[in-house]
A and B are shown apart, each in its own frame.
Chain A
């Protein structure tokens, strides 16, 4: 996803692709190649059309319409977009999503990198790997239920021990308007830690030990080795994990839907939750499509900014 965005490096660069494609249709042999190609790509091509391209275009068109899912559609121009930006609920959902992302992405990337570094050269590595990976194979609904109970204000695990050990007077986390989003973000860090750790471990394994050996002979401290060798060589992996986490964070839904249903009030409503509500509870399909397009643009911008910024800090071997 990161290094190979330009496909087909083995291709002859001679002709412009489109005209050579037309020429390929000429002879009988190339016609049979075309048929084989169609045969193999066929099923996924059908899926691409029916479940991705047509829906995207349709969603764009819908975003300029008012439609309740049945009956007449009326063209309303940019009204849905204007309504979206003027809407308090949307602004709240947007802000909560940003807040969630700002906590969960750095939190998860840093923590999982740290744990991967620690796990990498330690005994019982397998056991640690298995344990940290547990939430990845657990359904997010089950995770939400378990944390809902653990964070229960009166009898939850967290508060019981905070009172018992620290004599604290802890709040009811998921009912406090200011705390609910950070808390959900922390649960998200907890549950995404293991997956990111595995990707980092794979990245660390790809670093040739000769670099560290040479640095050790030169007397470089662990600290310097980390900053001058490990981090630069791991930067493509860090970039990959960051991008994946960012895109995922902007689409957070399950935790919010199960733990708080966007509440209290709309204090934990996120963009995707708001899209879901608008379409499938309020049945304002046009409005919801407009919000989804806004989300699409935001995700695209964030991704592009990342790709643009990576040139400054991501180091590729070749």
Chain B
């Protein structure tokens, strides 16, 4: 009897140990797969930066060297001078900021109306908004182009700003969903205190939907910043170009000069990556939030 008890305990602890080992092996395999995946994501970027710092001869070395020697810093001023990059950065930034700011305002207003104001034909109108989510951009682009031409706005940033600033069915839908989820009590007591709809919207609703507003801001900023399709159609003079457009132009001009091209790509990518790494938590959570409310 006395002998069986420690035996039993030993068996249990060895069982626990083997379980622990199993856990560790599993965690090891998981990390192995993830590290391979992560390397696949990072290596193209490292390769981009590495190439951007090489001189022409080093690019064609086999096997390739990852650390440039000597480091060819001059690729950066060279590609900055080749095309108006600073200008394109300014253009992209201000277009994105204006679009995001106006979208936050117009979408939250419409979202508030659809969630809280019983105006005539509200439901019908909301269904129309939802239905437009299915319309691909390519269908509307030709008439939009003609509208812009008639307004004299082709090759003008307003042709990019106006459609996005004034219309985002996705933004309206997203914010309406969140506003509908807010408790009614605050708004009701504000109404009893004599507040009108504008004050309720501005002082009660807006502060309560900061998270979805931030999410929408991130979402539409990324969309604008990376927009190639419409920018390519509407803008024609290099001084008006946005970063993606300029980068594409760069490709056309320097197709064989990989060092300059990778320097240009790095210039286009790095500032955004820095902002991303600083704000990654909010950016990723914002994107997750827009995905959850569907």
Residue positions of A touching B, CB distance < 8 A: 1-5, 7-8, 10-11, 17-18, 21-22, 24-25, 30, 33-34, 36-48, 50-56, 58-59, 62, 69, 115, 118-119, 122-123, 126-142, 145-150, 152, 154-155, 157, 160-161, 164, 190, 193-195, 198-199, 201-203, 206, 237, 240, 247, 250-251, 253-254, 257-258, 272, 275-276, 279-280, 285, 288-289, 292-293, 295-296, 299-300, 303
Contacts and interface: CB of A to CB of B under 8 A. Distances in A.
Interface stretch (B12-20, B69-77, B141-149): B141-149
Contacts of A130: 277, 280, 284
A190 B119 CA distance: 46
A290 to B, nearest CB: 11
A40 B44 contact: no
Interface string B160-204: 001101111100110001001000000000000000011001000
Interface in B244-294: 244-245, 247-248, 251, 258, 261-262, 264-265, 268-269, 272-273, 276-277, 280-281, 283-284, 287-289, 291-292, 294
A118 B30 contact: yes
Nearest to B29: A118
B120 interface: yes
A137 B283 contact: yes
Contacts of B261: 145, 149
Given A40-B109, A136-B222, A272-B138, A258 B37 contact: no
A123 B28 CA distance: 11
Judged by DSSP, the binding face of B is helix
A131 B113 contact: no
Contact of B122 (A37, A154, A258): A37
A131 B139 contact: no
Nearest to B269: A142
A91 B178 CA distance: 43
List the 6 shortest-distance A-B pairs measured between CB atoms, nearest first. Answer: A37-B119, A47-B167, A47-B166, A40-B113, A55-B143, A55-B140
A134 B280 CA distance: 10
Contacts of A253: 228-229
A190 B40 CA distance: 8
A173 to B, nearest CB: 14
B272 A138 contact: yes
Judged by DSSP, the binding face of A is helix
A51 B140 contact: yes
A4 B172 CA distance: 14
B118 A24 contact: yes
Contact of B45 (A45, A134, A276): A134
B51 A149 contact: yes
A41 B128 contact: no
Contact of B134 (A50, A51, A195, A303): A303
Contacts of A150: 44, 47
Contact of A43 (B121, B166, B262): B166
Given A11-B123, A47-B167, A131 B144 contact: no
B65 to A, nearest CB: 11
Contacts of B251: 141, 145, 148, 258
A1 B133 contact: yes
Contacts of A272: 136, 138, 229
Contacts of A58: 142-143, 146
19 contacts: A21-B120, A37-B118, A41-B109, A43-B109, A44-B168, A45-B125, A48-B169, A56-B140, A129-B284, A142-B268, A146-B262, A152-B258, A160-B64, A164-B63, A203-B291, A237-B291, A279-B141, A292-B139, A299-B134
B2 interface: no
Q: Which of A30, A123, A157, A295 has the most CB of B within 10 A?
A: A157
Interface of B: 27, 30-31, 33-34, 37-38, 40-45, 47-48, 51, 59-60, 62-64, 105-107, 109-110, 112-114, 117-130, 132-147, 162-163, 165-169, 172-173, 177, 180, 197-198, 201, 222, 225-226, 228-229, 232-233, 243-245, 247-248, 251, 258, 261-262, 264-265, 268-269, 272-273, 276-277, 280-281, 283-284, 287-289, 291-292, 294
Nearest to A289: B142
Nearest to B173: A1
A7 B135 CA distance: 19
B247 A141 contact: yes
A2 B38 CA distance: 31
B41 A131 contact: yes
Contacts of B124: 17-18, 21
B143 A54 contact: yes
B162 A51 contact: yes
A148 B232 CA distance: 20
A8 B123 contact: yes
A190 B45 contact: no
A39 B171 CA distance: 18
A299 B121 CA distance: 28
Contacts of B167: 44, 47-48, 50-52
Contacts of B45: 134, 146
A10 B184 CA distance: 13
Contact of B47 (A141, A157, A193, A288): A157
Contacts of A300: 134
Q: Which of B41, B132, B147, B162 has the most CB of A within 10 A?
A: B41
Given A33-B118, A140-B226, A279 B265 contact: no
A275 B145 CA distance: 14
A139 B272 CA distance: 9
B243 to A, nearest CB: 6
